[in-house]
Amino acid sequence: MDYNATTPLEPEVIQAVTEAMWEAWGNPSSPYPAGRKAKDTIKAARESLAKMIGGKPQDIIFTSGGTESNNLVIQSVVKHFHVNQTSKGDTGVHHSPVEGAKPHLITSSVEHDSIRLPLEHLAEQQAAEVTFVPVSKASGRAEVDDILAAVRPTTRLVSIMLANNETGVIMPVPEISQRIKALNQERAAAGLPPILVHTDAAQALGKRRVDVEDLGVDFLTIVGHKFYGPRIGALYARGLGGCTLLYPMLFGGGQEQNFRPGTENTPMIAGLGKAAELVTQNWEAYEAHMRDIRDYLEERLEAEFGQKRIHLNSQFPGTERLPNTCNFSIRGPRLQGDSPSPWSFHSVSTAPALPGFRAEPAPPTHPALGMTQLVWSWGLARAAEGRLGWLCCGSWGSCHQPLLSLTWLILLLLGCGLWRILMSDISTAPKAVREGRNIN
């Protein structure tokens, strides 16, 4: 199953949403019992999210999802720069290092579109300058030294994802924050404002421990549907309860401390809170379980194709990765075999005319440079509320071989024996896979 794209709702989450629809239907701003019930429900959910990431409840605001959270951070940083540059009494070097300068933002070249596209748009509109730091071919990460080397006097934000959705590589966010914090002390002495650090934690939450104090970030994006919650999100903003540079993109009734006005979606917020609660209680079991399945898959792939023919693109020496993501390439002559019945799959991602598959050129900075990326997803004996699925991104080809046609790409993964590996050798799989056991 394509669990890096989305996840189903946990039964407990569905129950929380349903109960909120029945019992917390009132307007949270209203003083009568139904309104107070809704307000209390939102408060409890906020506390659950804060506990999941080791933050304070007052630093959490609810949003429509990761895209809004990411845009809110980016737009706020740019607006803060321009407001302070043009405000009266703020003409000194502290706010305007260079006359007529634009804010400078740094990110990696492998970010989600909700980071990349807003930054590209701001650059096209000449409202900001942006540096996209490429990932290292040796580690798959955006290296700390490369990020620090891109810093300018006008730099205001570094935004680096916590975990990459294609390779599963964990980015060095704690080290980035530590280095930026030290640099900010030097900048303060020079009369320059601090650089803020943001991380999009969409892919990491629910798969590993995420703590804002360990990460040292100023902003962190939360996406509910990545960890069996509803399709809303939240933003952690350090110091939101006191002084912050966050600016609202919407204006209205003043909800969410005026940063995200609009009557709150109480049922979905309740579901998000329940999903966060489950992560807090079970993340270690989730992580261990997914790692067992991923490691089993990779062992079987190497046994079937041999280490000379298969390359596990996510395995970089000294680099951490998500426990659920396997990214691989297969080299060699054309492979043929019988296609499994489409009804054999519990669920697959879809693309027009190609159920379960999407072929697309790898981005220029993708570790599998020059290859065609093929995404295939599946599940193994998955219980309704279990966490037994994972994403497998396969990249076909090599720098020394021409790419095969799309037809052969499809035949490759349908007929190369992966289905036989996974199903006929199920007796050697991890025990939880054989039993289809729920680990909650």
Of 265, 294, 323, the one marking the end of a domain is: 265
In a domain, 326, yes or no: yes
* β-pairing verdict for 310-312 and 233-237: unpaired
Task: Please tell me whether residues 221 and 296 are part of one structural domain.
Answer: no
Would you say 122 and 139 are in contact if contact means Cβ atoms under 8 Å apart?
no
pLDDT of residue 328: 85
The pLDDT of residue 333: 64
Per-residue pLDDT at 124:
97
Residues 417 and 389 in one domain: yes
Residues 72, 101: Cα–Cα separation, whole Å: 22
The mean pLDDT value of the chain amounts to 79
Query: 265, 289, 319: which is the final residue of a domain?
Result: 265
Residue 261 shares a structural domain with residue 349: no
Tell me what pLDDT residue 332 has.
Answer: 72
| Mean pLDDT score, 26-43 | 94
Final residue before a domain boundary, out of 238, 265, 292: 265
pLDDT value for 257: 84
pLDDT of residue 87 exceeding 80, the answer is no
> Most confidently modeled of 223-237, 393-407, 426-440?
223-237
Q: Domain check: are 286 and 217 in the same one?
A: no
- State how far the Cα of 242 lies from the Cα of 401, in Å rounded to an integer: 58
Q: What is the pLDDT of residue 388?
A: 52
- Statement to judge: residues 256 and 289 lie in one domain: no
User: Are 156 and 195 found together in one domain?
Assistant: yes
Angstrom CA distances, 176 to 6, 141, 316, stand at 28, 12, 19
Task: Give me the number of domains the chain comprises.
Answer: 2
Quick check: helix, strand or coil at residue 330? Answer: strand
Query: Which range marks the domain in which residue 364 is found?
Result: 280-435
SS3 content of the chain, % helix, strand, coil (to 5): 40, 15, 45
CA distance 419 to 7: 22
Domain assignment of residue 196, yes or no: yes
Q: Which two tokens stand for residue 316?
A: 């970089």
Identity at 165, one-letter amino acid code = N
Helices (H) and strands (E) in the chain, counts: 11, 12
Residues 189 and 81 in one domain: yes
For the ranges 13-22, 123-132, 319-328, which has the lowest average pLDDT? 319-328
Strand-pair category, 372-378 with 390-396: antiparallel
Together in a domain, 94 and 224: yes
Indicate whether 38 belongs to any domain.
no
Q: Note the pLDDT tens digit of each residue in 252-280.
A: 888 888 888 888 999 999 999 999 999 99
Please tell me which residue, 368 or 155, carries the higher pLDDT value. 155
Kindly tell me if the per-residue pLDDT of 9 is higher than 70.
yes
| Inter-axis angle of helices 266-305 and 33-53, nearest 10 | 30
Decide if pLDDT at 42 tops 90.
yes
Instruction: Examine the domain organization and report whether 226 and 374 are in the same domain.
Output: no
Q: What is the pLDDT of residue 361?
A: 43
pLDDT digits 0-9 by tens, 317-333 = 999 999 999 888 888 76
311 and 415, same structural domain?
Answer: yes
Checking DSSP bridges between strand 104-108 and strand 129-133, what pairing results, if any? parallel
pLDDT-derived band of residue 335, with 50, 70 and 90 as boundaries?
Answer: low
Specify whether the CB–CB gap between 393 and 360 falls below 8 A: no
4 inside domain: no
Find the mean pLDDT for residues 427-432.
Answer: 51
- Confidence at residue 38, expressed as pLDDT on a 0 to 100 scale: 95
Reported confidence tier of residue 102, pLDDT bands at 50, 70, 90? very high
Question: Does residue 117 share a domain with residue 215?
Answer: yes
Within a domain: residue 63? yes
Q: Are 72 and 184 contained in the same domain?
A: yes
